């Protein structure tokens, strides 16, 4: 193989290598060498794997195996085999592999029923199912009065679930059932419901079996666990639940997906402090990082998911979870903050545009956040600040997915998005299908 490689060097590639020899290094890119890490190393490792020089998984760390693979490549093509990636080695890689192909990515969409004035996700599924790998139905929660049991969400009727399953079969989309501990009302706290279900081994086993039986009886492909806002001391109970659920589901071929709040540091308090990223990833097939609500219901106005904030969350995550397991959660929604102190209005891209039109105010673009927003005064003289997401703000987040080698994205939620966002996905990714 190596002798054949030495003989067959395209003239165009040889010319490019010769030309690069006369280009000052400052114009030819940064060196990569042993000890480096990050998305550029991950991209290099994937190139080496494509060419058959690296058998180990791409990790983003430039260790001895990567250095040896680079040296073999260089020796085969009569470059100095120093194991360092400079302009000549980069040109060689690009010449051998040709123009970069769109990366193959998972695109998951969260599916909900109608939340007037917000539509059901059904029309989006019909229109854009070809761009989806899987959907997660927001359909079950932990039963507040009977720990270990599941309660079906009544706003997603059985007839609509059957439509989803039929469409999914037609469009080769996997369907996951989502289990959560949210939206109880009446003073019931989701963290208390979760503690009751997870703290007792018998109730925990009952919950595992109830999930398993729903998947088997309803024909779902797996489960998305979206248990949030745990007491900090209940993190180990959650880990034990995932271990037991994984042991039950994986031998039967079901997908286990886990949604976790975005974190920027180990000492970050609040909604996500109970969750251990590494342990969750050990048991899950994929982990969704909910990189949204940077500003939301309980904050003042600001971007839903500014690009710098999202990248910090990605960097934190890839240090703890293999990139190939991570789905980056991206928002399709916005919030409209009213200066009168009331909670902000949760809205879709369409409602955001209608609001701008109604009040004759332009949609502005925040360069730092890479997100759209607008300001207006309502009929009562109250000032508003509205932040939302559109295709342009999605583009930067999708670039992060490609740069860090993540598995893909998870959109919260279908039916709220800018329709042009699907074109951006198609331009940047080849969507994986089951």
Which of the residues 224, 228, 385, 389 is marked catalytic?
A: 228
Give the per-residue SS3 of the chain. CHHHHHHCCCHHHHHHHHHHCCCCHHHCCCCECCCCECHHHHHHHHHHHHHCCCCCCCCCECCHHHHHHHHHHHHHCCCCCCCCECHHHHHHHHHHHCCCCCCEEEEEEEECCCECCECCCHHHHHHHHHHCCEEEEEEEEECCCCCCCEEECCCCCHHHHHHHHHHHHHHCCEEEEEEECCCCCCCCCHHHHHHHHHHCHHHHHHHHHHHHHHHHHHCCCEEEEECCCCCHHHHHHHHHHHHHHHHHHHHHCCEEEEEEECCCCCCCCCCCCCCCHHHHHHHCCEEEEECCCCCCCCCCCCCCCCHHHHHHHHHHHHCCCCHHHEEEEEECCEEEEECCCCCCEEECHHHHHHHHHHCCCCCEEECCCCEEEEEEECCCCCEEEEECCCHHHHHHHHHHHHHCCCCEEEEECCCCCCCCHHHHHHHHCEECCC
For residue 228, indicate whether it is catalytic. Answer: yes
Dihedral sign (CA 230, 234, 238, 244)? negative
Q: In this structure, what token pair is assigned to residue 390?
A: 């559109």
Just list the catalytic residues.
Answer: 228
């Amino acid at each position: 193989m190596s002798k054949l490689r030495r003989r067959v060097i395209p003239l165009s590639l040889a010319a490019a290598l010769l030309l690069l020899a006369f280009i000052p290094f400052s114009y030819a890119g940064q060196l990569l060498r042993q000890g480096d890490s990050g998305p550029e190393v991950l991209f290099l490792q994937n190139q080496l794997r494509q060419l058959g020089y690296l058998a180990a998984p791409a990790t983003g760390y430039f260790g001895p195996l990567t250095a040896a693979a680079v040296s073999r490549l260089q020796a085969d093509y009569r470059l100095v085999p120093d194991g360092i990636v400079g302009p000549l080695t980069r040109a060689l890689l690009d010449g051998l592999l040709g123009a970069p192909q769109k990366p193959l990515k998972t695109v998951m969409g969260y599916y909900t029923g109608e939340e007037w004035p917000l539509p059901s996700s059904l029309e989006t599924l019909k229109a854009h199912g070809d761009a989806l790998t899987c959907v997660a139905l927001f359909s079950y929660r932990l039963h507040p009065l009977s720990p270990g049991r599941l309660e079906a969400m009544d706003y997603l009727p059985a007839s609509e679930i059957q439509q989803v399953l039929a469409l999914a079969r037609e469009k080769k989309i996997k369907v996951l059932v989502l289990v959560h501990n949210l939206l109880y009302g009446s003073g019931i706290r989701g963290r208390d419901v979760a503690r009751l279900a997870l703290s007792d081994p018998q109730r925990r086993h009952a919950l595992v079996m109830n999930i398993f039986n729903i998947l088997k009886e309803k024909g779902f492909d797996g489960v998305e666990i979206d248990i949030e806002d745990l007491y900090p001391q209940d993190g180990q109970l959650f880990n034990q639940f995932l271990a037991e659920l994984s042991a039950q589901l994986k031998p039967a071929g079901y997908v286990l997906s886990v949604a976790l709040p975005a974190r920027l540091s180990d000492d970050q308090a609040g909604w996500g402090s109970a969750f251990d990223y590494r342990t969750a990833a050990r048991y899950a097939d994929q982990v969704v990082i909910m990189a949204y609500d940077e500003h939301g219901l309980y904050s003042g106005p600001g971007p839903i998911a500014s690009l710098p904030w999202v990248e910090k969350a990605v960097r934190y995550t890839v240090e703890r979870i293999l990139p190939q397991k991570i789905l980056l959660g991206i928002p399709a929604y916005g919030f409209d903050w009213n200066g009168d102190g009331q909670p902000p209005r949760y809205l879709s891209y369409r409602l955001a545009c209608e609001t701008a039109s109604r009040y004759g105010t332009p949609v502005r673009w925040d360069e730092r956040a890479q997100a759209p927003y607008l300001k207006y005064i309502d009929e009562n003289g109250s000032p508003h600040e509205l932040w939302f997401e559109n295709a342009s703000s999605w583009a930067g987040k999708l670039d992060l997915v490609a740069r860090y080698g993540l598995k893909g994205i998870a959109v919260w939620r279908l039916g709220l998005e800018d329709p042009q966002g699907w074109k951006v996905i198609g331009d940047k990714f080849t969507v994986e299908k089951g």
